[in-house]
Structure 1
Amino acid sequence: MDEHDIFKLITAGVRFTKKSKKEQPTKPQLQPKISKKEEPVKSKKSKEDDQDSTEFRLLAGESTTEPKRKKPKEGKAPSAKELELQKVADQANETRKQFGISALGKRIPPPVASFEALTRDFKLLPRLQQNLLARNFDQPTPIQMQALPVLLQRRALMACAPTGSGKTLAFLTPIIDGLRAHKTSGLRALVLAPTRELAQQIYRECAELTRETGLRTHFISKVSEAKQKHGTECKQRYDILVSTPNRVRFLLQQEPPLLDLSQVEWFVLDEADRLMEEGQNNFKEQLDDIYAACSLPTKCVAFFSATYTVPVAKWALRHLKNLVRITIGVQNSATESVQQELLFVGSEGGKLVAMRDLVRQGLQPPVLVFVQSKERAKQLFEELLYDGINVDVIHAERSQHQRDNCVRAFREGSIWVLICTELMGRGIDFKGVNLVINYDFPPTTISYIHRIGRTGRAGRPGRAITFFTQEDTANLRSIAVIIKNSGGTVPEYMLQMKKVKKSEAKIRAKKPLDREDISTKIRPETKSDEIHKSAKLKKVEKTEKIIKKRQGKEKDLKPKQKKLGKIKVDLKAVDKRKGKASKTRKEKV
């Protein structure tokens, strides 16, 4: 046995690993083996809390872990400038935690606590500050605290905040401060909204904030008048345009184009998740054309909405540089100031009974009632009008003049109950709405959040009641989770229901359920009803004839079946006799 064999025997089962001097312990330390039962438990983070932020960071190419702070080199004390920056960063993080602000991006400015601090740090336009104070905007809301300094630095922004949290002011203030004074060069700011009512509301707010600043704001009320106000012959020029995408694209498609967007410095989308939806009857194609017409490379782009969707984030990350994303509170959640209730009504007929019970108990107007289609809105309007309730209805079939009058009357208080479709579910600010009734179950969670967001705005208390039947239980769990996350109480069985598949949820969002007509009154029959009844009677008569024929054939076949049965018995007897005969023959042989 040589030295090599001896070394093999001594070192059997031993592994050698190279370690740096820093990692090598000064003294040998024995580490006890940890059994499977005694393994250290790792801290678990809820997927729902970190899903959105992780997804955004992955899309942006950033790491999902928090960035590590640079430690000062050994032997060197941090400079005064580093200490001051660290102190500002710590204060900013504390403020964000206090107000539920989440911000993602690089070099995000700290939130501002007051408009005075905004004026001091960013030299806000004095007249704009006076207009803000005149509107009783003393302190900024959480979304304004973080969005205002970001936009005043001309950074691209994607913001998500609950309904009624002051998003309109968060993007109008930087626009007005950035434009400062009127110029005859043409439009310099474009604000787009999904509905005409919401665009008109933004225009009114902008007109108040631009008072005595010299800036001119315009809202496209009629496309037919656009040639006079925006054509080449028009002498008057506007600085800010508020409109819907379809009207803007229509004016761009004229020859020559009636709008020049080449000088637009600010491009803002309100309710961006709705505007960026793809598919039929959506705004995505219109937005692509409008965004291409805004050719100024230095323009500031901002997206605002109460709900977050992945397509908006993907588009923003693909097209915008130096993007900042801001979220207030829990992503895609309802406001805590709204008292939410789920009411089982059994069937479609039970909804009208429940509605009349609420009226009997005493409704505190103004009240908004949401249904899924314009046909059902008309039917419910007739029923409540028959009950003597001061009610009106708004839907897409009504003329623009009728819709404007309806909204005005509801704001003034002459209408107590307003029945509407998804048309009024986004962005409309009716101050003091006390109750929202979801007569028809919302097709998606996003629709639910926007519907109930019409009440409980600007910190006021509100109430929302959602009717549901057996057919609506597929989407019940998702709504119950939203209610629980916003501080409400729901039965435990709702939270334990099965999740709906994504494919099924998409189908339900596009195709609402077929529901029975809302009707309890005896109405006079029309010609269509008579035709429908006659067709039904013909079908019934045909089925009765078929049934009688079948019954007659069955009677005729019964005696034949008995005879056949006897014949079968006789044949069996014959078979038995044959068997006996064959046996006797064998015996004789």
Structure 2
Amino acid sequence: MDFFKLLGKGTKFNSKRYQEDFDIFKNKANVDEIKDTVDVEEESAIPELDFFNTNKSKEDEVDLKKKKNTKKDKKEKKEDKEKDVELEQEMDFSKESEVQKFRLNHKIKIYGTDVPNPIQSFEDLKSIYNVKPYLSNNLKDNGFTVPTPIQMQATTIMLHKRDLIACSPTGSGKTLSFIIPILHALKAPMKKGFRAVIISPTRELAQQIYREFQMIAKGKPFKFCLLSKATNLNTETGYNKNLDILISTPLRLVHAIQHESIKLDSVQQLILDEADRLLELGFLEQMDEIIAACNSPTLQTSLFSATIHSGVESIARTIMKDPIRIVIGQKNAATETIKQKLVYVGGEEGKLIEIRQMIQSGLKPPVLIFVQSVERAKELFHELVYDGINVDVIHSERTKAQRDNIVNNFRIGKIWVLITTELMARGMDFKGVKLVINYDFPQSVQSYIHRIGRTGRAGRDGEAVTFFSRDDVTYLKSIVNVMKSSGCDVPEWMLQLKKPTKEMKKKLRNRPVQRKTINTMSKYDKQKIHHKQDMINNSKKRKLKNNNENEKNNKKSKVE
């Protein structure tokens, strides 16, 4: 709009008298519309003077239209998905070809004999397996409407009382896959002692499984025991025939078995969550003792993880009876909903520069940052704590209360960025984690898959950024292969890199790359501080020496 029209709002101009002047300022496009009296009350104000935001710009209108269109698109997509589900439910499983087609559509691969058919919906649990109404109601109440591929197949195998080895991507719903069959098999609380045992490698994951059991078992008075240091095994919370389900870490349970505080001879269901970690050398002896204590002839064993290599499978088969193996999607691959990215940082100094640039450009919390050791977690925390973001650090040296408080604050959004070690890499379900940053390059493919699996869970989109320096290039090809199999774009030169040998992989797993301390202080400043400290120490030594000499002289003078 014409600025002079706005200034003349409420006044009248005689266009005939001031025709020459008026022609200079009038809008040529509206010549026919201009009258002797110009009233601008109905005109809109220019943006600079639109203090009350009364105008709606064309851009805003376009944005509103776009938002409406996107909402319509989302509704249409949801309707399409619901239609697809309905169509899938109508599939006739009386024909083996239809079952195979269904498995192929959901990327379900099975290995074993007499494998039961998958379920197409949670309603099938009620109609085919006579699952109790409280389970169906709790699933609906907690938003579980359509089963994931692992839930479709693993649930039925366990309901048929078959041993199971299940490999499924992170965030695909493995926990629910064993909760439903366990609760169905136990039927109701009984005074027989523990009938189901779930082992997890970390206390945080054990607590998460405990919460999910309580959520799905709501309305049924099952009694759960989460074994921890605080659990008093010699009194009412110890070995008690009123308890039904035990959730624990290996070391805590072994300690209880050795002190005869717990008996596992009534256990019908044994679940190893994150089985590849539990069957590694660090936990293997402890697992042997636990499995030996579960001596019931009707014991059913199930293994779940996102990464199960051939070595773990061969160990697992020695403790299982004719197990069925399931692989969802690509074996040892990440979820397709995660956008993966590799960033070259040169040396260790480049990592801090890159992460600070990411913070300045705007991080979308919550964010998880993984480092390779407790010391480096502390160092990075001390660097980022003054950068204006809500950051905290969690590692094995923190107390139980501190760790619980940090996890809770991260869940509710009080902490935006959480720095951690491998402690939080497995199984932890933080809904809504937008970004995972591998500050230190992971020591194995399995570590990488589990780390980035903290985002992109339950079908949500996520992003994973991995920093690599000159020291990490040798091991880059392993991660590149995971990215490619997950459907990510990878530069051609990365695909041409040489694979690391088995010896190199083993060496990296056992001993991580030696890295410089995380510190932005210059060499000059470090030398200056070191020199100052030396001067203080030398001064103290001189004073101590002088004091000793004075004492000796005083003693001599007294003797004389």
Match of 2:189 in 1: 182
Query: Could you tell me how far apart the structure 2 residues matched to 1:391 and 1:400 are?
Result: 19
Which residue in 2 is equivalent to 1:191? 198
Rate the CA distance shift 1:86–1:398 in 2: closer, same or farther, 3 A.
closer
How many angstroms does 1:466 deviate by?
0.4
Alignment of 1:296-375 (within 5 A): 296-375=296-375
Report the CA distance shift for 1:527/1:315 in structure 2 as closer, same or farther (over 3 A).
farther
The residue type paired with residue 202 of structure 1 is I
Give the aligned partner of residue 66 of structure 2. Answer: none
| 1:274-313 map, 5 Å | 274-278=277-281, 282-313=282-313
CA contact (8 A) 1:230 1:258 kept: no
User: C-alpha deviations, 1:519-568, integer Å up to 9, x for none?
Assistant: 1147998999569979xxxxxxxxxxxxxxxxxxxxxxxxxxxxxxxxxx
Q: Give the counterpart of 2:242 among 230, 237, 242.
A: 237
Q: 1:260 to 1:210 in 2, by over 3 A?
A: same
Q: Which of 195, 205, 223 does residue 212 from structure 2 map onto?
A: 205
Q: 1:459 to 1:522 in 2, by over 3 A?
A: same
2:533, 2:503 → 1: CA distance? Answer: 36
Which residue number corresponds to residue 14 of structure 1? Answer: none
CA distance in structure 2 between the aligned counterparts of 1:272 and 1:364, rounded to whole angstroms: 32
* Counterpart for residue 557 of structure 2: none
Shift of 1:484: 1.2
Match of 1:246 in 2: 251
Maintained 8 Å contact 1:181/1:213 = yes
Which one of the candidate residues 255, 271, 291 is aligned to 2:274? 271
Shift of 1:487: 1.1
Q: Assess, with a 3 A threshold, how the Cα gap between structure 1 residues 225 and 530 changes in structure 2: closer, same or farther.
A: farther
Question: 1:118 Cα deviation (Å)?
Answer: 1.7
| Distance of 2:529 and 2:299 partners within structure 1 | 57
Q: Tell whether the 8 Å contact from 1:230 to 1:259 is kept in structure 2 after alignment.
A: no
Name the CA distance, whole Å, in 1 between partners of 2:391 and 2:399.
18
After superposition, give the CA deviation of every residue in 1:344-375 in whole Å (9 maximum; x if it has no partner): 01110000000000001000000000000010
Q: Match of 1:149?
A: 156
CA distance in 2, matches of 1:350, 1:456: 27
CA distance in 1, matches of 2:96, 2:143: 30
Alpha-carbon contact 1:368-1:418 (below 8 Å) kept: yes
Q: Letter of the aligned partner of 1:277 in structure 2?
A: E
Distance 1:85 1:480 in 2: 40
Larger radius of gyration: 1
- Matched with 2:461 is 461
Deviation at 1:226, TM superposition (A): 2.2
Deviation at 1:333, TM superposition (A): 0.2
1:226 alignment partner in structure 2: 233
Name the stretch that deviates more: 314-323 or 294-303.
314-323
Q: Distance between the aligned counterparts of 2:450 and 2:109, measured in 1?
A: 21
Aligned equivalent of 2:64: none
Offset of residue 88 of structure 1: 2.6
Query: Is the 1:198–1:427 contact (alpha carbons within 8 Å) kept by the matching residues of 2?
Result: yes
- 2:483 equivalent to 1:483: yes
Residues 299-345 of structure 1, C-alpha deviation per residue, up to 9 Å, x if partnerless?
Answer: 11100000011222112322322310000000000111000000001
Aligned to 2:400: 400
Map of 1:428 onto structure 2: 428
Q: Which structure 2 residue ranges, 5 or more long, are not aligned?
A: 1-90, 536-560
Provide the residue aligned with 1:125 in structure 2. 132
Per the alignment, residue 163 of structure 1 pairs with 170
Distance (whole Å) between structure 2 residues aligned to residue 359 and residue 401 of structure 1? 29
In structure 2, what is the equivalent of residue 116 of structure 1? 123
- Rounded to whole Å, the distance in 1 between the matches of 2:156 and 2:394 is 39
Instruction: Tell me the amino acid that sits aligned with residue 244 of structure 2.
Output: D
Q: Secondary structure at the match of 2:267?
A: coil
1:110-135, Cα deviation, whole Å (9 max, x unpaired): 11100111211111111111111111
Aligned residues: 445
1:50-61 alignment, distance < 5 Å:
none
Aligned counterpart in structure 2 of residue 215 of structure 1, from 217, 222, 227: 222
Moved more, 486-495 or 287-296: 486-495
Gaps of 5+ in 1: 1-83, 535-589
Q: Give the Cα–Cα distance (whole angstroms) in 1 for the partners of residues 122 and 176 of structure 2.
A: 12
Question: Following TM superposition, by how much is the alpha carbon of 1:230 offset from its aligned partner in structure 2, in angstroms?
Answer: 4.5
Equivalence map 1:503-542=2 (5 Å): 503-521=503-521
Supply the AA of the counterpart residue of 1:372. Answer: Q
Identity in percent: 48
1:100 corresponds to:
107
SS at structure 1 position matched to 2:318: helix
Q: CA 1:386 to 1:211, structure 2 compared with 1: closer, same or farther past 3 Å? A: same
Give, in whole Å, the separation in 1 of the partners of 2:238 and 2:327: 40
Aligned partners of 2:115 and 2:157 also within 8 Å: yes
Which among 259, 264, 283 is matched to residue 261 of structure 1? 264
RMSD (Å) for aligned C-alpha atoms: 2.3
Matched with 1:388 is: 388
- The amino acid of 2:271's aligned partner reads V
Q: Distance in 2 between matches of 1:487 and 1:96?
A: 20
Cα deviations across residues 73-109 of structure 1 (Å, max 9, x unaligned)? xxxxxxxxxxx99943111101000000000111101
Asked whether the 8 Å contact 1:368–1:436 carries over to 2, the reply is: yes
Shift in alpha-carbon separation, 1:526–1:491, aligned structure 2, 3 A: closer
- Alpha-carbon separation, structure 2, partners of 1:338 and 1:142: 18
Distance in 2 (alpha carbons) for counterparts of 1:418 and 1:217? 30
Answer yes or no: is the 8 Å Cα contact 1:197–1:428 preserved in 2.
yes
Shift, 1:213, TM fit: 1.3
Q: Which residue of 2 aligns with 1:443?
A: 443
Q: Is the 8 A contact 1:128 1:213 kept in 2?
A: no
SS of 2:331's equivalent in the other structure is coil
- Pair 1:532–1:306, CA change in 2 (3 A): farther
Structure 2 counterpart of 1:216, one-letter code: K
CA distance in 1, matches of 2:319, 2:432: 39
Deviations 1:561-588 (A, max 9, x none): xxxxxxxxxxxxxxxxxxxxxxxxxxxx
- Alpha carbons 2:93, 2:99 under 8 Å: kept: no
119-128 vs 200-209, which deviates more?
119-128
- Residues 237 and 522 from structure 1, CA distance in 2 versus in 1: closer, same or farther, beyond 3 angstroms? farther
In 1, Cα distance between equivalents of 2:527 and 2:209: 45
- Normalised by the length of structure 2, the TM-score is 0.77
Give the 3-state SS of the residue equivalent to 2:385 in structure 1: helix
Residues in 2 aligned to 1:427 and 1:86: alpha-carbon distance in whole angstroms: 33
8 Å CA contact 1:89, 1:110 repeated in 2: no
The 8 Å contact of residues 438 and 465 in structure 2, kept in 1 or not, is answered as: yes
- Residue 493 of structure 1 corresponds to which residue in structure 2? 493
